[in-house]
Amino acid sequence: MQTENPVTSAPFAPIDEAVALAHAAQATYGTASRAVRSALLRGLADTLERDAAQLVAIADDETSLGTARLNGELARTAFQLRGFAERVDAGIANLQVDDAAVPGAPPAGRPQLTRVHVPLGPVAMFSASNFPFAFSVLGGDTASALAAGCTVIVKPHPGHPELSRRVHALAARVLREQGLPEGVIAFVDQASREAAVHLVGHADIAAVAFTGSYQGGVALWRATNARRRPIPFYGELGSINPLVVLPQALTDGVETPAATLAASITMGCGQFCTSPGLIVVRDDTDGDRFAQALAQTLSTQKPHAMLTADMRRGFESATAHVAAQAGVRVRLAASAENDEATAPAPRLFETDAQTFIANAALHEEMFGPAALIVKVRDEAQTLDVLSAVEGSLTVTLWGAQADTAANRALAATAQRIAGRVLFGSVPTGVAVCDAQQHGGPWPASTQPQTTSVGYAAIERFLRPVALQGAPQWAITATAGTATVA
């Protein structure tokens, strides 16, 4: 329903109040020292760990993801917060380039210039459904924005509302303990689609961070571009994540590769943005044996329930749509007892290269434990299939270790369409580190030159400014050595 103030009945009043808090806090937090920002990030990590047992119990009740998975995700979230704190201390948000003045006329002569970075301002952060800790209230988007000196307005996901409220309450306590304004991490409780559009259109919002569905992300992306003053929209919209199985990958048999892939497809009930949804394999004896082994192994997997009833309905609709396409063979179908009250059964489909390339309906993500095998004749068809994919978070190459012309061409094509190219392993599981790239060409993300995972994510929320002939105090203030008043 529409978000309204219960006293005034003014539409979107809670949104406006949250943004006002964040906007007021930006003046203080945006000029805070490195020590203040890193202390906040460490304090948030500490409070998550202190209340881990209670938070994981709430998360499991709301998501059915299991305590083992959720404990691991909470640990990753705390690790990520501390990692950003370390990089704040190291000056990652305050990098500057100095060019000394050179006497004389241009082009040889120039004034003294210092290139610095300033925080964009309040960031509207939309939590994801599938990671209730790592991509939620205190997840990577919030951590990177805070590291950059930006206040955050959290819009929680309706899939885990009580967890989101509890985590925000803990964050608010940390802010009070550290003497920081409550608007540094503002919070908008459950909000309608109209309220979400209002949030990204608010004049005091400087950037948006979003992880979620293609449809929802595109709607908000359009809203940010329709503003009188457009702002950056950093959207991660999902992906089909092609995985190419070259003949060299099957020389030692098909059972182990099939088992590895089946586990990745069903990990988290297939509700990972990096879940491998497109499997490219040769149309030969080994390729067919691999497809059979994959179907068999998938049939033994027991995924847990999906996060929400809407996601389950979306998964059933998407897989039914793929199954209905001409030229598609169903390798593994849902069982007769597969209904919305049970966990979804894995699905596996198969088609040929020509059919896949010609039919855009087969290029769409099936968000859940399902994948499409595409049989190819040769290296050229493999490249054609990858080129038909508009954009992807990942491309995985199995069997491309040798330095050959064919493998170089394959790697080049993979890099054109993906933000991360794996030579082996599986794409599920995204390391938090400096070299990570989690983003890709549209529709995988709206800003493929940026990442939403890893410490380079901080760059999204900083804007470069050149200071010309500036006195030292101006450079020092921008360099993050000022203190909170």
Q: Which residues are catalytic, by number?
A: 236, 273
Cα separation, 267 vs 33, in Å, equals 41
Cβ neighbours around 219 below 10 Å, total: 14
Cα angle 10-13-15, degrees, rounded to a multiple of 5:
150
Cα separation, 201 vs 225, in Å, equals 9
Cα separation, 84 vs 134, in Å, equals 14
φ/ψ (deg, to 5) at 407: -70, -35
Tell me which residue of 451, 414, 416 sits closest to 432, measured CA to CA: 451
**Residues 6 or more apart from 167 whose CB is under 8 A from it?**
48, 55, 133, 136, 137, 138
